[in-house]
Amino acid sequence: MHDINLEDGDILAKQKELAEKNRDKLSLHGVRAINVMGAIGSGKTALIEAIHDKIKEEVRMGAVAGDVAGTDDYERFERAGITAYNLNTHSDCHLDAHLVDHSLENMPLDELDLLFVENVGNLVCPADFPLGTDKEIVVISVTEGEDMVRKHPKIFSQSDIVVINKVDLSDAIGVNPEKPRSDYEEINPNGKVIFTAATKGEGIDELISALDILEN
């Protein structure tokens, strides 16, 4: 058992080292990067699309579509006119710094100002693997219930922003979005909470402001 723990520690240390190399590479090319985490169906892809629609005339934006398998999100990004790369993990429930480095090698970084890295749909595994991005956001939706933050404290405690999405459905499903907001503020008093309805464009300007996208 001790050998396994040591190996796990070595792996995480290596991931941190690779993440710093990714950060340096992105900085060298003048690209800001944002790690977007959240469960399947929370609306990560829709949020990235909505942000792009708002800033596409001012910011050159790209996206990495991280999934276990398939090209669905990648194809959505392509249809939206977003420079994209499809990154399948095949079995892992998260992206890691090595996989992101591989995606960066296949992206035209000199032609981008901003890169969204859409992580695999999961609220557990991605929390342990830094990617080298400038910010980390977690997306949850009211359709997941009021207790999502309490059930996954680690990923929320280290995030810069939590997006509570699909708030337009709150009344219909009987979920109060103020509850996950208060849970998050208790776990992470330094983070920001943004309410959105991505498919309707609601809250997107506030999210763009919170991410300082147009200030750089």
3-state secondary structure of 161: strand
Q: Percent of the chain, pLDDT > 90?
A: 91
pTM above 0.95, yes or no: no
Q: How many CB atoms lie within 10 A of CB 62?
A: 23
Query: Domain spans of the chain?
Result: 2-215
What residues are paired with 35 via a beta bridge?
Answer: 117, 136
What is the per-residue burial (b if ≥16 Cβ within 10 Å, else e) of 130-145? bbbbbebbbbbbbbbe
What residues are paired with 87 via a beta bridge?
Answer: 66
State the average pLDDT over residues 15-35.
96
The CATH classification number of 2-215 equals 3.40.50.300
Measured distance CA(98)–CA(202) in Å, rounded: 35
Lowest mean pLDDT among 7-21, 83-97, 114-128, 176-190: 7-21
Residue 103 has what pLDDT? 97
Helix axis angle, 72-79 to 44-55, nearest 10°: 20
Residue 9 has what pLDDT? 66
What sign has the CA pseudo-torsion 20, 91, 164, 54? Answer: positive
pLDDT of residue 191 exceeding 90, the answer is yes
Q: How far is CA 187 from CA 140, 161, 162, 184, in A?
A: 15, 12, 12, 5
State the average pLDDT over residues 163-184.
97
Lowest mean pLDDT among 8-12, 128-132, 201-205: 8-12
Residue 127 has what pLDDT? 94
Token pair in block for residue 35:
């790690």
Residue 15 has what pLDDT? 87
Residue 5 has what pLDDT? 44
State the average pLDDT over residues 48-65.
98
Instruction: Using pLDDT thresholds of 50, 70 and 90, give the confidence band for residue 6.
Output: very low
Query: Which candidate, 216, 148, 133, places its Cα nearest to that of 181?
Result: 148
Q: Which residue intervals of the chain are DSSP H helices? A: 2-28, 44-55, 72-79, 97-105, 148-151, 153-157, 170-173, 178-187, 204-210
Q: How many CB atoms lie within 10 A of CB 4?
A: 8
